[in-house]
Chain A
């Protein structure tokens, strides 16, 4: 591995690396816009200039390969002046509309100005006017005045999504990003262009104007949109989850995720959740705490014989949860009739060649492992054929109901049973149709619990509790424990205002005039 000196520090880097990669490895600050580790090198922002000993001209770090013994710095006056001017060139025609720009707070123009700029601007001439609020497609809005023409988005559509929608039109300071003949940017990965846009030129229709980013926290998690298991960052505050962005993982998703996966936060938020536990008695639905419903359901189930009970599971729960449920079924209820409920069977095996898979469950592999361990398992169809055999059914329903297109029919098909116990994170109006002795127990979503998902390639990834959306909701392990008649210490959660939004959150955070 070649050695070199960066800003006076010696460092060893893999052969073939570029200077900017060495800076990143050393965690030394270096200004840049166009360089992105997941894309080809464009070398157009000209900000990552460095001084290389023996070379009278400043070089760009992104396109200069390391050589043994190189002595490089980016803290000399010469470099600092060049970076300062480089930033000014970026800003002279920029509208500086930060107060109404959605990128504010996570904008590289702001960040890098604060880190490398801080000068008195000298531009007194009128700025170039360009198109604003251009509707690029289903999910993305473009503001060409804010655009600094780093070409990241263009390279993304050329190299990663391979859909080639975007290009840079016109030339000089009239250059604008756009699509040919204004065709829409509608590929399945389009919002990645928003993530990699260093400024507020590309914004997400779904997220814009919903939150100022400085009121959001974020924690890593796993996307539950399909069996790929992309690593993500979940952005949330006390109002709920607002967006999901990809988190780099070389083994799984690289720097990217699909647009569909970005919607998973929608079924996490309160709006689509089952807020309280419910059970039906004498034709009337009674609402109470989830743990009460779980206890009642456990008592009811104990009145059936093992062979009268069927258990249905989806790959939407963690390994730990699935294990406790199947164990409960086999060892406590005495039922070996455990069935695997899949989303749309016809495109179960689909794969788009990049990230999106037809198996819309984050933990199918994990579920298969658990079923194998207990030597149980079967398909929903098998259950249908012998439904009359059963009197009670326990369903670990999908957290993300939108990918289970048959959920309505499935609920209806269980109407005839004496007892249905359904674990669900989401609300569904069809539950009303269930007969007496039905128990609906609100479950936590993937961002509210700890556990592991095993993705399609057999890689087991950890999920950690990101936030609490519904303090009342339970995970499967807790539910099973309650059904067994154990008591659960929920005192900590009881102290939280169950099911009530902290309405004074913003006045607390933002203060008042």
Chain B
């Protein structure tokens, strides 16, 4: 069942403005936060079990506690470079509730004692950038940002930074490089950003949804937040659902919600009553699930990990029996080939290679050994690079060819798509 925690007022136009936001209790939580000690906020976030909503699912409170206690200035970066194919929840959150994010960020900044934060927004997001900039102006004008916020003695400045359209800048160290004015490519770890990040200073990078959720954890307390979700996957999550369903869109449900319920109830079932074939549960880099697997899937970190996939950014892509898996893999690999930053050899060369092989298959020039070769290359691309982009290209490749091998073999043998052939005769 859909729940309304973060998305409670997303249907109201006025929620976008400061005035409207305040009408529904906006910035009250910030006052509450200022009455608490920063450590209390961190421990509350730890207790809430909040995990990063951007893709990796790292416990937020733990990330914050990695910051060194050496008096160095810290930075807070909001990762709004929402680039994972299939993901569009952050866009909605920024468009509909910019102040929710800003409030969550000020609270988080207070907790980690940071005087400066940036919201790094995907370059193509024109409208959300405009909305955020207006909201920031409003916040500055009413003393919610700047010096001595609400008389608390806490100073904080916030800026919007616009990306230039590279997927890799959604990776936290890639984002830091880009923000520093360098070519957007991930940095070697260790050191991790919490120790040495933006401009060499300790930096925390959190997703839009994570930072917005902090507000609700402080407002209602960790216990109340934990009422939603499961033991290891606490709270609610916004899912972006696209593909062949009747009502695609962004839905907020508790973690642990069955995937079939989400498709059938919230999304109104399969489009044109077609048969479900497969689902990508966490953005294009998450390994695909077959229809049978989907029946058993609940949307939480543990279950999806157990199924050999991942929750990722919560981008659910639903496919029916008219979709050709070979074509879909080609489209996916084109994306990763295009977006690889080119730094690490296995990714730079591997993404191009597997894209070429799948393109050959689609153009009818595949060889039977290509399928095994794809598998071999993908396995060698995993866990070999600085960031996870290489894995993100290899994982779906492995998923597609192991679960839908017959379609690939047919394509190689016949030089045409099995699915399209079936569709034409139906």
Contacts and interface: CB of A to CB of B under 8 A. Distances in A.
A174 B349 CA distance: 10
B353 A123 contact: yes
Contact of B357 (A42, A58, A63, A125): A125
Given A90-B345, A175-B342, A49 B384 contact: yes
Interface size class of A (residues with CB under 8 A): 35 or more
Given A44-B386, A123-B353, A125-B357, A173 B183 contact: no
Majority secondary structure, A binding face:
loop
A172 B345 contact: no
A148 interface: yes
B17 interface: no
A173 B344 contact: no
12 contacts: A44-B344, A46-B346, A82-B380, A89-B346, A89-B353, A90-B349, A125-B353, A168-B183, A170-B342, A171-B168, A171-B342, A172-B341
A149 B348 contact: yes
A167 B183 contact: yes
Nearest to A172: B340
Interface in B37-69: none
Interface of B: 166, 168, 183, 185, 188, 190, 337-346, 348-353, 356-357, 360, 367, 373, 376-377, 380, 383-386
B384 A172 contact: no
Contact of B340 (A43, A44, A93, A171): A171
A173 B351 contact: yes
Nearest to A170: B342
Nearest to A56: B383
Contacts of B341: 171-172
Nearest to B360: A125
A418 B136 CA distance: 91
A45 interface: yes
A89 B353 CA distance: 9
A63 B183 contact: no
Given A46-B344, A89-B346, A125-B356, 4 more contacts: A45-B345, A85-B380, A93-B349, A173-B348
Contact of A89 (B168, B339, B349): B349
A162 interface: no
Contacts of B367: 124
Nearest to A42: B188
A172 B337 contact: yes
Interface string A119-130: 000111110100
Contacts of B383: 57-58
Contact of B342 (A49, A81, A173): A173
Shortest Cβ-Cβ A-B pairs, 4 listed = A175-B342, A173-B352, A85-B380, A172-B340
A82 B384 contact: yes
Contacts of B373: 122
Nearest to B356: A125
B347 to A, nearest CB: 8
B386 A173 contact: no
A90 B353 CA distance: 12
Given A49-B384, A82-B380, A89 B345 contact: yes
A86 interface: yes
Contacts of A41: 188
Contacts of B185: 171
B188 A172 contact: no
A149 B345 contact: yes
Contacts of A170: 342
Contacts, number: 92
A93 B166 CA distance: 24
A172 B386 contact: no
B364 to A, nearest CB: 15
Nearest to B340: A172
A413 B393 CA distance: 76
Q: Is the interface of B mostly helix, strand, loop or mixed?
A: helix
B192 to A, nearest CB: 12
Interface in A30-53: 41-47, 49
Contacts of A85: 346, 377, 380
A42 B344 CA distance: 9
A46 B385 contact: yes
A43 B215 CA distance: 39
A148 B346 CA distance: 11
A347 to B, nearest CB: 37
Contact of A173 (B168, B349, B376): B349
B156 to A, nearest CB: 34
Nearest to A124: B367
A463 to B, nearest CB: 41
Given A46-B344, A46-B385, A49-B384, A128 B352 contact: yes
A174 B355 CA distance: 14
A403 interface: no
A175 B348 contact: yes
Contacts of B345: 44-47, 86, 89-90, 148-149
Contacts of B384: 46, 49, 58, 82, 86
A43 B348 contact: no
Nearest to A57: B383
Contacts of A151: 343
Nearest to A176: B342
A202 B404 CA distance: 45
Given A41-B188, A49-B384, A122-B373, A173 B340 contact: yes
Nearest to A123: B353
Interface in A231-263: none
Given A41-B188, A85-B380, A123-B353, A172 B338 contact: yes
Nearest to B353: A92
A82 B188 CA distance: 19
B380 A174 contact: no
B167 to A, nearest CB: 10
A170 B349 CA distance: 14
Contacts of A171: 166, 168, 185, 339-342
Contacts of A168: 183, 342
Contact of B188 (A43, A125, A126): A43
Interface in A147-173: 148-149, 151, 167-168, 170-173
A46 B188 CA distance: 12
A52 to B, nearest CB: 13
A206 B287 CA distance: 53
Nearest to B341: A171
Contacts of B351: 172-173
B13 to A, nearest CB: 40
Nearest to B382: A57
Nearest to A171: B342
B386 A174 contact: no
User: Which of the listed residues A57, A63, A89, A125 has the most CB atoms from chain B within 10 Å of its own CB?
Assistant: A89
A3 to B, nearest CB: 22
Contacts of B346: 46, 85-86, 89
A151 B377 CA distance: 24
Contacts of A123: 353
Contact of B349 (A47, A92, A167): A92
Q: Which of B168, B376, B380 counts the most chain A CB atoms within 10 A?
A: B380
Interface string A300-323: 000000000000000000000000
Contacts of B348: 89, 149, 172-173, 175
B342 A174 contact: yes
A83 to B, nearest CB: 10
Nearest to B380: A85
A338 to B, nearest CB: 57
Contacts of A81: 380
Contacts of A63: 188, 190
Nearest to B359: A125
B11 to A, nearest CB: 40
A86 B381 CA distance: 9
Contacts of B385: 46
Nearest to A62: B188
Interface string A171-185: 111110000000000
